[in-house]
Structure formats: C-alpha cells, structure tokens
Amino acid sequence: MLANQAKEEQAAKRNDPSKLVSAPRCQINLGNGERRNADGTVRTANQSAVEARQLLRINGLCHFLLLEDERIAGNLVLSVIQCLGFPDAYTCRRCTRICHRILETVAWEERYTNLIGQQMFSQVLALIVKEPKWMIGIEWNMMAVARDIYCRLVLGQYLQAGGQGSAMQQPRIDKSSMQPLFEQSKHVNAPLQGGGILCKPSELPQQILAQLPGMTPTEVLKLNSKLTASLTVKDQKEVLREFLRVSAENLQQSETSEDGLALFGRAVTEESVLSQKVRAAAVPDLPEKLYTASQALKKAEKQRSLSEQHSESFASDLFQQEDNR
C-alpha cells in the first residue's frame, strides 16, 4: 500500500500517466455516497479492513524487531547508527527515517536511553557540526533527528510520525520536585501517531551538548528554555541551528589542516546550512530608483522615434539643397 502510494506520487510529480491507476480526482467523497482513494480509484467494500491489517503488520514487525528480542534490537539499532555516517546522502536520508521510527517506538524504554541518547545523538551531532561535503542537502534531515531525540529524551515532548509538526509538551507529574517527571503520551503504543517519551529525562544528551566546542552547561539550559518556550517546528529547528552553528565555528577555528575539495572535507560557507543567515547576501541591494523592463522599452522606442525624425529631417534638407541648385 505505502509503496504503491509512493510510486503514484512520483508518477504524478513527473507527469507520467503510465504508472497511475487513473487520473487524479479532486473529490474524494462523491455525492452518491461512493468513496474513492486519493488516486481516483473506487474503494472496495473491504478495503478499509485490508488497510487496517496492513497497518497492524507494520506495527507488529516494528514491535518484533525493536522490543521482543534484545539481541535483534541491539544489533539493528547499532547498524542504523553506523549507517548514519556512511558517506552517501541517498543512504543517509533513508537512515534518518528509520531513526524516527526507532524513536517513535522505543524512546520511552529506559533500556534504549544509552543507545539513543548517547550513541545515536553523538553521531548525529558530529555530522552536523563537522559539516562534511557529502552531507550537503540532508542537513535539515539530521537536524530533525537531533530535535526528535532531544525532545523525547530531555524535554518531555513527542512529535508526529517522522519527526514532523510541532512538539506536543507532556505535563509534569510533580511540579514541586527538582527532578522533572513527565506523564507518558497516550500514543506510546501507537508509533504512527507520535509514539511516546522518556518519562524520567536523561542527562546524556545535555552532557553531550555541553561538551561541544564553545558550549557550557549554562548555554544548554538556555537552549532548554528556548525549546520549551516555542513548540513550533520552525522555531525549534532555528534554535538548534543557531546553537550548533556556534559549535561548528569553534571547531572550524581549531582545525589546523583541511582539504576543502575532498569528499570528507568541510563544506564551505556558501554551502553550509548552519551559516545560511550569517553569511553575506548573494543578491546585491536594490537601487533607490528602480528601472523596470517596461521603462527600458519605452526609452528604446523614444530613442528610435527620435532617430527616425532626425533621419527624415536630414533627408529633407538634402533634397531641398539639391532643388535649390
């Protein structure tokens, strides 16, 4: 089901009707009570039951791989973490999607805190701060994984499936306690609806952030307050980008030798997502007096008419001189 939907979406974007079942329809629910799919095909009588069974299989397979056997789950998660550092943007982008599914499924389980909060988080931050050239184009995917980990394991916030949308803050159980303890999400057993959080926040992600170049525990506390003040995806990603930009600049200054043309070299300022708002603008400032294309055409027409008038007057003077002779 999901694969067919992806193929049809790609076919629609490429305007390739050979892979589409039928022409796209604007109306999903018709007036006669007949329901249709997003691609325009008529929904069968048992299609809802078939899709429900498919979702159950997806959730069951995910539960088996990550929660039923520690040997399978540990090797799988470690393999995914290692794949995040594979120097291929295509592979890395798909690994970030697997990371989101892992977080949605097991972030609430304390046995995974070390794997997720230390190893996966360290790998993601290292790639963002070092800015290798092969990672150009997927920086925001990495930033989304870092945000997903930090929100679920530290701030008591869960996200929509795939790390999308605004964060949903869970209330604290005992506000008078110095150690926060959050209520578990109601979607803890439904990864496709957002998944759960770690009720007792972990210190590991905060310690890793504090160890970055130029960072201190005070800066990490400021980061927590900013991420809690605004839960929108745009604001939280911008706060993380600014925080990691400072670390990237400090790390770049400490590097002594670097080949900027190599595959594993650091991305230049023009390619860096972290520096996109601090570098000089590529487009120059507009002049105070604008000169539009229509004004240019009018000026050209005026010059042409003036030249024609001059040529006509010059020709008439020549003819008059010849007549006088």
Q: What is the pTM of this model?
A: 0.71
User: Do the domain assignments include residue 166?
Assistant: yes
- For position 220, what pLDDT does the model report? 93
Residue 124, pLDDT above cutoff 90: yes
- For position 79, what pLDDT does the model report? 94
- Tell me the CA end-to-end span of the chain in Å, nearest whole number: 96
- For position 24, what pLDDT does the model report? 47
Overall domain count for the chain: 1
- Alpha carbon distances (Å) from 66 to 14, 70, 120: 36, 7, 15
User: Percentage of the chain surpassing pLDDT 90?
Assistant: 42
User: Do the domain assignments include residue 84?
Assistant: yes
User: Do the domain assignments include residue 201?
Assistant: yes
* 3-state SS class at 97: helix
Name the residue among 85, 98, 198 with its Cα closest to residue 150: 198
The CA distance from 2 to 9, in Å, is 11
Name the residue among 27, 15, 154 with its Cα closest to residue 146: 154
Residue 147, pLDDT above cutoff 80: yes
Classify the C-alpha dihedral 226-229-235-236 as positive or negative. positive
Tokens of 265: 């070299």
Tell me: the pLDDT tens digits for 33-75?
Answer: 667 776 667 778 888 898 889 888 988 998 999 999 888 999 9
- For position 271, what pLDDT does the model report? 63
Residue 95, pLDDT above cutoff 90: yes
Residue 318, pLDDT above cutoff 50: yes
Residue 281, pLDDT above cutoff 50: no
- For position 127, what pLDDT does the model report? 92
- For position 251, what pLDDT does the model report? 85
User: Do the domain assignments include residue 22?
Assistant: no
Residue 132, pLDDT above cutoff 70: yes
User: Do the domain assignments include residue 86?
Assistant: yes
* DSSP bridge partners of 172: 182
User: Do the domain assignments include residue 75?
Assistant: yes
* DSSP bridge partners of 157: 169
Return contacts of 113-117, CB within 8 angstroms, 24+ apart. 113/153, 113/198, 113/202, 113/204, 114/204, 115/74, 115/77, 115/78, 115/81, 116/77, 116/149, 116/153, 117/149, 117/153, 117/202, 117/204, 117/205
Q: How confident is the model at residue 167 (pLDDT cuts 50, 70, 90)?
A: very high
Q: Which domain holds residue 131?
A: 58-253
Q: CB of 148 within 8 A of CB of 163?
A: yes
Q: CB of 142 within 8 A of CB of 164?
A: no
Backbone angles phi, psi at 157, to 5 degrees: -125, 140
Contacts of 104 (CB under 8 A, 6+ apart): 161, 191, 192, 194, 195
The CA distance from 134 to 124, in Å, is 14
User: Do the domain assignments include residue 53?
Assistant: no
Q: Which residue has the tokens 């995806």?
A: 233
User: Do the domain assignments include residue 12?
Assistant: no
The CA distance from 37 to 110, in Å, is 40
Summary mean pLDDT of the chain? 81
- Which position has the higher pLDDT, 174 or 129? 129
Residue 206, pLDDT above cutoff 90: yes
Tell me: the pLDDT tens digits for 231-255?
Answer: 999 999 999 999 999 888 888 877 6
